[in-house]
Amino acid sequence: MTNLQRSAFELLSEPVRRWIWQQKWASLRDVQEKGIPAILAGGDVVISAKTAAGKTEAALLPLITRLANRDQVQDGFSVLYVSPLKALINDQFRRLQGLCEASGVLLNKWHGDVSADAKARARKRPSGIVLITPESLEALLVRRGSEAKFLFSALDAIVIDELHAFIGSERGVQLTSILNRIEIAADRDRIDRIGLSATLGDMALAAEALRPGDGDRVTRVHGLDEGNGVKLQIRGYLLKGKDNGTAVEVDEDETDEAEPDKQHDEFGIPAALAADLFRFLRGDSNLLFAGSRQKVEVYADKLRRMCEDAHLPNEFFPHHGSLSKSEREDVELRLREDPRPTTAVATTTLELGIDIGDVESVGQIGPGYSVASIRQRLGRSGRRAGKAAILRIFVIEPTPDKGGHPLDRLNLDLIQSIAMIECLREGWCEPPAPWGLHLSTLIHQILALIVQTGGLRPAAAWKLLCERGPFKTVDRSTFADLLRCMASKENRLIEQSPEGSLMIGEMGERITESHEFYPVFATEREYRIIHETRVLGTYPISSPVAPGETIIFSGRRWKILEIDDVTRVITVKPTRGGKPPYFAGDGGGIHDHVVGTMRKILGSTAAYPYIDAVAVSLLADARLAFKELELETRSVIPYGNGSLIFPWIGTKKLQTLMLAFLARNFEASSFGHSIEVQEVNVSGVETFLRTLADADPPNGEVIAARLAKPNLAKFDHHLSADLMTMVTLKERLDVASLPAVARSLTEPLPKVGKPSPMG
């Protein structure tokens, strides 16, 4: 092993070095060369590198070495390895068993499927490394609070795998709070934290997320493993009309008699796309990310029937969160160990590092909603030596009808797909979301802390959770308001003893005694959509909607009259206007940078060698429409009896601008990357925008009042109206951006630059 850089390899303990020799590694990977000395030096470390670059070993090799170098062995676990998924823990357990056995380190896995006897043995004689989920860690603290010091006082480090999956989410805030509670219970000032991630757009924000308030002291390691290269292509398809057997609109009276093929075609699988998927994927092992669970089932069923029609064994299997654990594991096992060709048609469930072995290629239906996601998916392919990673994005665009919506002419799914690849090419990735208030998660942590400790005073709870913990944006006054809200007659989550200690209240006992308490995330809530007395269906509230807004549902355009959060009912009526635009996908938050890149692509003449002939034609049509609609020189254009606004901004700012119009009693709705304002001409829209541009940011409470209270987080329904407004303004809207956004829409547009195509 002469080509190993001795500076990293020789720092490792003798058993670890021997294990590396036994694996016949030719050399350490770049991320390991950099990560080993950083972790051996002590302190917090963030490690970022492409998927399958060896990040797990970059963390565990030096940590096991640190354990070997200890002067004395203490009772207690030595390393906590926190992972977001039980399946990932099972994979890592298989992967690390040999290393731990060779090093004399006990390896434990701990999640809901591990037997109570195994957990009891580990608690009785805690030692070595524990692979655990945040929820199991929470349950351990809450149920065994008195044992926390015994279990964790010897901790040498805490590893957080798939760090990007936690940052900015309720689950990530919960985990950071748990780690803080462990440090306090173990009577330690700080325990080293090591974050591992394949997709981090801003290492500084990631470091701050790993150690809130002290991110500057976190060491940052970025692996530069070049891999085996990338092959990618964007392929375009036209979603044709009824005469071509696709996009069929089925009336309610005809639903029962509609042919199965037409029902599937209604979901928009052009024949050319189905044929290409079958041609590209059959005969190898692949991943196809289809989007929603419904689309996963539709595509998997279509490809399965194509296998049957060709008298071939089925190679296509769905994989999503609503399937049973055994169904998902069967697909994972077949990909990992079965030589038969297998394509998993998946949602995001296979985006993280679950071990599925080597796949030939990755496919994706539509553009997706983040560059980070594409980077993560791309890393699932190209793991074999000399084999490039292969990514194909399949984009479906509607055939524009005479008098159709202008958005249909711009082919924005294709433009967004190209923008995503151009961002990927330039090395850009979405930064972690800024820290919010996360009051729902704070409610959860207050309850968990009370159960763990048996009760504590409000000042001690604030100091532990907010001053030292992750809820640093919550001041004493807001914390006091939250406690009063939790203790109210409506909630009865907590109460205060005569001595002043916080205790669990009547409703709090019911919540904390349930096994459903430990996860901090809420399952997706659905609202019934009702027109007059008829239920049209259910609508998932995964993004905010507001009264007065127009939504597209069941192939029709509806105006929201009222939203009842208690009964979860959205009351609607039909609304007029142009033909609703077609959008693939189910919505998602898109970053400003991606949308800005889309405008540059539409306004340029750059060619992109990775798009096929159909996509080239669709791009030319979109650019022609961009010119004919005069979007090169203006942002507001007439449409129907109103106006269309193209701000070219991300989802959060677009939603905030739309609500600003609603707050001034305009009839406004956001579609794709635009806002439609009815009954108001271009001059009227521009007058309002100039007023908005010349003033200070409007009253946020007035803007937020137009937004339905969707109760997105698990305990949002326990928040008062004032506290919910604070959360909305901090986390879900961007009121401060309104003057600058309005100003950009009223001033002459900057000349569109020419993005350089990917070679």
Instruction: With respect to residue 658, please indicate whether it lies within any of the assigned structural domains.
Output: no
Q: Based on the fold, state whether residues 42 and 176 are members of the same structural domain.
A: yes
Q: Based on the fold, state whether residues 66 and 97 are members of the same structural domain.
A: yes
Q: Which domain holds residue 481?
A: 439-517
- The percent of residues above 70 in pLDDT, for the chain, comes to 87
Give residue 241's pLDDT band: very low, low, confident or very high (50, 70, 90): low
For residue range 394-449, list pLDDT tens digits in order: 999 988 777 678 999 999 999 999 999 999 999 898 887 777 899 999 999 999 99
Instruction: With respect to residue 361, please indicate whether it lies within any of the assigned structural domains.
Output: yes
pLDDT of residue 266: 44
Q: Based on the fold, state whether residues 142 and 216 are members of the same structural domain.
A: yes
Task: State the Cα angle at 751 between 748 and 753, rounded to 5°.
Answer: 155
Check whether 354 has a pLDDT greater than 90: no
Beta bridge partners of 318: 345
DSSP letter string, 18-61: HHHHHTT-SS--HHHHHHHHHHHT-S-EEEE--TTSSHHHHHHH
Instruction: With respect to residue 751, please indicate whether it lies within any of the assigned structural domains.
Output: no
Instruction: With respect to residue 660, please indicate whether it lies within any of the assigned structural domains.
Output: no
Give residue 588's pLDDT band: very low, low, confident or very high (50, 70, 90): low
Q: Based on the fold, state whether residues 60 and 80 are members of the same structural domain.
A: yes
Q: Which of 347, 328, 342, 357 is nearest to 281 (CA)?
A: 342
Instruction: With respect to residue 647, please indicate whether it lies within any of the assigned structural domains.
Output: no
Q: Which of 236, 218, 593 is nearest to 396 (CA)?
A: 236
Check whether 543 has a pLDDT greater than 70: no
Which tokens belong to 611?
A: 């798009």
Q: Based on the fold, state whether residues 305 and 453 are members of the same structural domain.
A: no
The stretch 587-601 carries a mean pLDDT of 90
Name the average pLDDT for the chain: 86
Give residue 573's pLDDT band: very low, low, confident or very high (50, 70, 90): confident
Q: Which residue has the tokens 């791009």?
A: 619
Cα separation, 722 vs 709, in Å, equals: 12
How far is C-alpha 149 from the chain's CA centre? Answer: 34
For residue range 179-210, list pLDDT tens digits in order: 999 999 999 999 999 999 876 777 888 898 89
Q: Which residue has the higher pLDDT, 226 or 367?
A: 367
Q: How many domains does the chain have?
A: 3
- The percent of residues above 90 in pLDDT, for the chain, comes to 61
Q: Based on the fold, state whether residues 247 and 364 are members of the same structural domain.
A: yes
Residue that terminates a domain, selected from 373, 399, 425: 399
pLDDT of residue 249: 31
pLDDT of residue 753: 55
pLDDT of residue 581: 36
Which tokens belong to 744?
A: 């950009």
- Residue 229: exposed, middle, or buried by beta-carbon count in 10 A (0-12, 13-18, 19+)? exposed
Q: Which residue has the higher pLDDT, 273 or 300?
A: 273
Check whether 661 has a pLDDT greater than 90: yes
pLDDT of residue 752: 62
Backbone angles phi, psi at 729, to 5 degrees: -70, -35
Instruction: With respect to residue 145, please indicate whether it lies within any of the assigned structural domains.
Output: yes
Give residue 280's pLDDT band: very low, low, confident or very high (50, 70, 90): very high
Instruction: With respect to residue 464, please indicate whether it lies within any of the assigned structural domains.
Output: yes
For residue range 666-716, list pLDDT tens digits in order: 999 988 899 999 999 999 999 999 999 998 888 888 888 887 655 678 999
pLDDT of residue 555: 38
Cα separation, 724 vs 310, in Å, equals: 56
pLDDT of residue 515: 86
Q: Based on the fold, state whether residues 315 and 443 are members of the same structural domain.
A: no
Check whether 261 has a pLDDT greater than 50: no
Q: Based on the fold, state whether residues 248 and 282 are members of the same structural domain.
A: yes
Strands 389-398 and 361-365: parallel
pLDDT of residue 587: 45
CATH number for the domain spanning 213: value is: 3.40.50.300
Give residue 651's pLDDT band: very low, low, confident or very high (50, 70, 90): very high
For residue range 72-131, list pLDDT tens digits in order: 667 899 999 999 988 889 889 998 999 999 999 999 999 988 999 999 999 999 999 999
Residue that terminates a domain, selected from 338, 368, 399: 399
Q: Based on the fold, state whether residues 63 and 157 are members of the same structural domain.
A: yes
Give residue 291's pLDDT band: very low, low, confident or very high (50, 70, 90): confident
CATH number for the domain spanning 454: value is: 1.10.10
Q: Based on the fold, state whether residues 217 and 234 are members of the same structural domain.
A: no
Q: Based on the fold, state whether residues 257 and 206 are members of the same structural domain.
A: no
pLDDT of residue 526: 63
Residue that terminates a domain, selected from 200, 222, 244: 222
Q: Based on the fold, state whether residues 207 and 265 are members of the same structural domain.
A: no
Instruction: With respect to residue 243, please indicate whether it lies within any of the assigned structural domains.
Output: yes
For residue range 319-339, list pLDDT tens digits in order: 877 677 778 889 999 998 999
